[in-house]
Amino acid sequence: MDSPLRCPQCGALVVDRRFAACTSCHAELPVDWVLSEEQISKLAAIDQSARAEHAAAMSEMDEENEPDSTVTLTDESTTSSP
């Protein structure tokens, strides 16, 4: 696995590899640490699909919880109508 990159100047973890500068001390980082636009768009696509999966999982949980609230809503409507 890739070991985390650290700034050669201040030793801060390089978390955002879209920019060729340390986020802590703004020292220049080796050019090959910086991701290309192609790599960034790939990462963005992976991130998006992960979020979509998460959203789908969350909506599934919502559906499981929903019957309770709909039952109370239908109860109220049946009592008001003759």
- Using the minimum distance from each CB to Zn ion, give the nearer residue, 23 or 35: 23
Q: Please state the closest distance from residue 8 (CB atom) to Zn ion, in A.
A: 8
Cα distance between residue 57 and residue 62, in whole Å: 9
Separation of alpha carbons 11 and 19, rounded Å: 16
Min CB(19)–Zn ion separation in Å: 12
Sequence-ordered list of residues with C-beta below 8 angstroms from that of 9, at least 6 positions apart, any chain: 22, 25, 27
Residues interacting with Zn ion, by CB under 5 A? 7, 9-10, 12, 22, 24-25, 27
State which residue, 26 or 42, has the beta carbon closest to Zn ion: 26
